[in-house]
Amino acid sequence: MHFGLQFFPDAGPDEKSAQDYWNESLHLVRLCDAPGFSHIRTVEHYFDRYGGYSPNPIVFLSAASQRSAKARLVTMSGTFRSLEDVTSLPRPVRQPRSAIWVASTSSPQSFVNAGRNGYWLMSIPRDAKQLNEPVALYRQGWRDAGHTGDG
């Protein structure tokens, strides 16, 4: 029989800060080798306090790998969902927020939305003539939303 640590956050900012949650979690990881725990497992969840402090398991598991010499690192996967009007946890603390990059490749609306939301643009390199119109849409969306510069 194998025993391990399962991290599935069920706390939000009202109960515990993200910093406190992750400090406590990594402290527990440091303790897992002594009793012989075989694995450290976490989930990937977005936009909800139930599991919401776990938007990127790779970052947590990378930190965990530096604190345990023996435990296997495991993720649990879910299904794809399309969500609107949601937020993510932990909330960003940097002001102004860090740059957000959005990949836009073929949908004209994706270029408009990236510009409108003030996101930086990533696209697959292609003939410059093919990018002229989508980049113009991006910049127009950027200006229409009142952002300074061209995006």
Residue span of the structural domain in which 38 resides: 4-76
Question: Which residues, 6+ apart, have CB-to-CB distance to 26 below 8 Å?
Answer: 63, 64, 67
72 and 118 belong to one structural domain: no
Do residue 12 and residue 71 come from a single domain?
yes
Q: Which of 34, 59, 76 is the last residue of a domain?
A: 76
pLDDT digits (tens, 9 = 90+) for 7-55: 888 888 888 888 999 999 999 999 999 999 999 988 877 666 676 777 7
In a domain, 87, yes or no: no
3-class SS letters over 35-65: CCCCEEEEECCCCCCECCCCCCHHHHHHHHH
Indicate if 8 and 61 belong to the same structural domain.
Answer: yes
Q: Are residues 72 and 105 in the same domain?
A: no
The 10s digit of each residue's pLDDT in 81-115 is 555 665 556 666 667 777 788 888 888 999 999 99
Whether residue 121 is found in the same domain as residue 63: no
Closest by alpha carbon to 77, among 60, 103, 59, 54? 54
Contacts of 57 (CB under 8 A, 6+ apart): 42, 43, 44, 75
**Whether residues 14 and 54 fall in one domain:** yes
Please tell me whether residue 84 adopts helix, strand or coil conformation.
coil
Q: Are residues 15 and 63 in the same domain?
A: yes
Residue among 86, 147, 84 nearest 118 (CA): 147
Q: Alpha-carbon distance 36 to 95, whole Å?
A: 42
Q: What is the pLDDT of residues 129-151, one digit of tens each?
A: 888 899 999 999 999 999 998 88
Angle at 43 between CA 70 and CA 45, to 5 degrees: 155
Total-model pTM: 0.52
pLDDT value at 80 more than 60: no
Give the number of domains in the chain.
Answer: 2
CB within 8 A of 60, min separation 6: which ones?
7, 22, 25, 42, 54
In a domain, 21, yes or no: yes
pLDDT of 91: 64
